[in-house]
Structure 1
Amino acid sequence: MERRILRSTKRRRIYEVKNDEKAENGEIDDMLSNFPDGILLHILSFLDAKYAVQTCVLSTRWRNLWKLIPTLILHSSKFSTLKQFSKFVPKILTLRDTSISLHALDLDRHGHIEPRILKKILDYVCSHNTHLQKLEISLRGDHRLIMRTVSSCHALTSLKLSVWNRGGSCDNSGTRFPKSLNLPSLTNLNLKEFIFSCGENNCAEPFFGFTKLNSLVIDCCSIWDAKTLKISSETLVNLTMHKNIFYIDKIELSTSSLCTFTYTDCFIPRICGTGLASVKQFYVVVTMGQYLEKPGMVLRSWLLDLANVTSLTISSTTLQILSLVPELLELKLPSLCNLKSMEIKLEPLERSRGLFNKVKDEMLKKIAAKSMKQVFELRRAGLKPPPIPDGIVAFLLQNSPSAKVHITTKYPDIFKIKQDDKSSNEDKVEKCQTNIVTS
């Protein structure tokens, strides 16, 4: 037994010595290097260009492999200083194999970028515009130069732009999105910090030229001179609208294929058209509806159009606004008949002081109709509305009583949830209403 152990130990030492000698000569073999070039290039395409270039020191096999990657990820955050980033970018553009088509570029600079560096990158993009399929740009820079480059990339299928210009979207001098952009193959569009201009009939319709659009994200954008935002697309499946500044009366959706709709904002415009009728996953988080006299009635009109929704995610603040509708719980819903699951995201009501006071006043009015004495007692004790309005869950589930309800929150210091999967929906809501921990 001891002899076998000694022989095994001796063989292991000999193997380690040989490997050390190979490592010194740069000849050590590894499983990753045994993969074909195509697989290695696919792996490298997920790395920032800085790290992809650093693989050249691994062995002779890797020395020039990074030059063949069809994607470029250039993030300034990967460098210690902006000066290092500015020195690196021109070198990689010069040393990259020019015979290899560029299929994707991801440029991220949190802040201003040197004009000469930006121009060099955009010139390189233009030289590969016939094959470029994916383009992501996030920075502060010359938006006119960027948009001219984008308009030349007719093969694009995915475009993500976040281009700040001086004051940004909260300033009327921000980056304006062109009224027409010829990108016939575009399927995915993600826009941040843009201004959409008004067209005919006091309506903004910035996406009418994208006939193959499948996914659309509108993030922190604005409309300054229109009353209606129109989105028309027979191919659009996913729509996300997040923290936009829309001084508009309504959103007109003509999106017969729309399946997933995500809306997070403090503005609650009317939604008309045929868009919501086809939606199956609906995610809505709103606070107090500004520039509208009756935001609760607008939310109720949204619910009436949700004929095919199977999954509903809604915030507690949204439910509070909805509960302001007079005699809401007495109404019969013709929608939400196919609902399978509902997630309620608990949000601190106190963070929206206007909504908090409105909800509290409405509660006191209802109590005052029965007992003024109870009103005085509640005011003295410090009335605090429950995170989920009484009866609102049952109201939403009246046509789908077997739908599963999940209660979640990002604020564990404020809310305490003890959810038992075997409990009924009413029990879960009651536990949520009683288990509140103030920070």
Structure 2
Amino acid sequence: MNPEGDRLSSLSDDLIIKILSFNDTKQAVTTSILSSRWRNIWKSIPHLDLSSDDITSLNIFSLSVPHVLSSRNDEIDLSSVKLGVRGGFSLPFVKTVLSYAYSHNVQKMTIIWSCENKIKIPLSLFISQSLKDLTLIGSSRHNRPLCKIKSSWDLPALTTLHVEHVKFNYKNHDEYGGLFSQCPNLKNLTLYNCTINRHFSNAKMVAHHLKNLTVVDCRGPLLIHTPELVSLMYKKPFFNRFSADDLSCLEKVDFYMSSSYEEDGYFVIQMLQQFRNVKYLTIGLEIVELLESSLGIIPNMPSPFTKLKSLTIYPGWEEGEKKANIPIEIKDFLLNGSPSATVSIYSREDVKGLKSKFA
């Protein structure tokens, strides 16, 4: 190899394709002007990163994307697709991109939808036999989702689903349960700032083989049927009803919730009793405060935790420093069933110190 020559061009096509995969598709396509050899290399990249963020004209973007799709090597499957669109795009345009991805056996997909008006996401956008990992990020106004989903997703290979700023709008429990019932291999689910239809007291979520569930800042009561669930993170800055009909496999729980109503302390006790098999429990200080509102009944209740190995208490949602003085009745309620469990209580300053240490 000539050390004075073009070292990059001396690499094999496979290695160049791997390098180009770290760039977005627009940048990869521009390499076609470098030489006759480079003209077609980008067409075999198994990743598509399509975003309108750096395109000044939506018309240019909407015309260039179909050209990119039609120019690709049609024999090359897609490992991943990222599509970032703004509100000016029509659903048929998005469907064109996703249909191409599905026909090329895409395994991982990220859709970031920045829209200014409410939009309904149809069932036809989520039917794939190959998709294993899906991230869907909608838009919100005043912290309320603008994107709605009414229909089930037919994604039999899906194992990981991450959804943000989306409203699940269903007329009955069976219809809502159907959202995940056609995702039989779903193992990891994250719902962030989503809204669940409040027409009913509970919206049931069925995911038979789910292992890890994260629910953060979601609205609406939730009933889950996840008999194989191992890890649960449930964070709410205000009280929200949560219940499950089978959590026998649950081992790890991170639980944060607050309320200004004393009667909600009783419901927190009920929720904690559902975590009876947990080994590692982390709670926010607001949970302790809600339990304090029920000190009259706690001494008469057995500790729900018989397998607990560690209990961790973190400071609450509020920025002000709070002193974690835990009444003996609450300590007994949390720990009497597992007296050998370790206990760690962190102040806000402790948390700041940990963050700076690992920054």
TM-score range, shorter chain: 0.7 to 0.9
Matched, 1:157 2:132: yes
Displacement after TM superposition at 1:136 (Å): 1.9
Asked whether the equivalents of residues 195 and 224 of structure 1 are also in contact (C-alpha less than 8 Å), the reply is no
Give 1:230's aligned amino acid.
K
Secondary structure of 1:28's counterpart equals coil
**Match of 1:400?**
338
Displacement after TM superposition at 1:91 (Å): 5.2
Give 2:253's aligned amino acid.
F
For these two proteins, the number of residue pairs brought into alignment is: 345
Q: In 2, distance between residues paired with 1:407 and 1:134?
A: 39
Within a 5 Å distance, the mapping from 1:393-432 to structure 2 comes to 393=331, 395-408=333-346, 412=349
Q: In 1, distance between residues paired with 2:252 and 2:33?
A: 48
Within a 5 Å distance, the mapping from 1:251-400 to structure 2 comes to 251-265=222-236, 266-275=238-247, 277-288=248-259, 294-327=263-296, 330-331=299-300, 333-347=302-316, 349=318, 386-391=323-328, 392-393=330-331, 395-400=333-338
Match of 2:206 among 227, 232, 253: 232
Displacement after TM superposition at 1:317 (Å): 1.8
Secondary structure of 2:270's counterpart equals helix
Over 3 Å counting, the alpha-carbon distance change for 1:408 and 1:271 in structure 2 is: same
Over 3 Å counting, the alpha-carbon distance change for 1:190 and 1:350 in structure 2 is: closer
Q: In 2, distance between residues paired with 1:338 and 1:56?
A: 61
Q: Which is greater in Rg?
A: 1
Within a 5 Å distance, the mapping from 1:20-99 to structure 2 comes to 21-22=4-5, 27-28=6-7, 34=11, 37=14, 41-42=17-18, 44-53=20-29, 64-77=40-53, 79=54, 81=56, 89=65, 92-99=68-75
Displacement after TM superposition at 1:229 (Å): 1.7
Asked whether the equivalents of residues 169 and 195 of structure 1 are also in contact (C-alpha less than 8 Å), the reply is no
Asked whether the equivalents of residues 190 and 216 of structure 1 are also in contact (C-alpha less than 8 Å), the reply is yes
Show CA shifts across 1:181-207 (max 9, x none). Answer: 332222222223223313159x84343
Over 3 Å counting, the alpha-carbon distance change for 1:73 and 1:404 in structure 2 is: farther
Secondary structure of 1:207's counterpart equals helix
**Match of 2:357?**
none
Secondary structure of 2:125's counterpart equals helix
Within a 5 Å distance, the mapping from 1:204-243 to structure 2 comes to 204-205=176-177, 206-222=179-195, 223-243=197-217
Over 3 Å counting, the alpha-carbon distance change for 1:330 and 1:417 in structure 2 is: farther
Tell me, which stretches of 5 or more residues in structure 2 are unaligned? 355-359
Show CA shifts across 1:70-118 (max 9, x none). Answer: 22122445x3756686676455335432332234211134x52443xx6
Secondary structure of 1:278's counterpart equals coil
Q: Normalising by structure 1, what TM-score?
A: 0.66
**Match of 1:107?**
83
Displacement after TM superposition at 1:169 (Å): 7.8
Show CA shifts across 1:372-408 (max 9, x none). Answer: xxxxxxxxxxxx9634434445642333344344445
Q: In 2, distance between residues paired with 1:62 and 1:324?
A: 69
Over 3 Å counting, the alpha-carbon distance change for 1:151 and 1:270 in structure 2 is: closer
Tell me, which stretches of 5 or more residues in structure 1 are unaligned? 1-14, 352-383, 419-439
Q: In 2, distance between residues paired with 1:415 and 1:133?
A: 38
**Match of 1:196?**
169
Give 1:208's aligned amino acid.
S
Match of 2:149 among 152, 173, 177: 177
Q: In 2, distance between residues paired with 1:29 and 1:245?
A: 52
Asked whether the equivalents of residues 239 and 261 of structure 1 are also in contact (C-alpha less than 8 Å), the reply is yes
Give 2:7's aligned amino acid.
I
Asked whether the equivalents of residues 263 and 283 of structure 1 are also in contact (C-alpha less than 8 Å), the reply is yes
Asked whether the equivalents of residues 317 and 349 of structure 1 are also in contact (C-alpha less than 8 Å), the reply is no
Asked whether the equivalents of residues 285 and 314 of structure 1 are also in contact (C-alpha less than 8 Å), the reply is yes
Within a 5 Å distance, the mapping from 1:138-153 to structure 2 comes to 138-140=112-114, 143-144=119-120, 147-153=122-128
Q: In 2, distance between residues paired with 1:29 and 1:128?
A: 29
Give 2:240's aligned amino acid.
I
Show CA shifts across 1:263-304 (max 9, x none). Answer: 1112331414113x3211101111216xx7622111111222
Show CA shifts across 1:285-340 (max 9, x none). Answer: 11216xx7622111111222223212212111222222221236635544323222
Asked whether the equivalents of residues 67 and 96 of structure 1 are also in contact (C-alpha less than 8 Å), the reply is yes
Q: In 2, distance between residues paired with 1:338 and 1:41?
A: 51
Q: Normalising by structure 2, what TM-score?
A: 0.78
Greater RCO (CA < 8 Å, at least 6 residues apart): 2
**Match of 1:359?**
none
Matched, 1:123 2:102: no
Over 3 Å counting, the alpha-carbon distance change for 1:224 and 1:42 in structure 2 is: farther
Give 1:261's aligned amino acid.
L
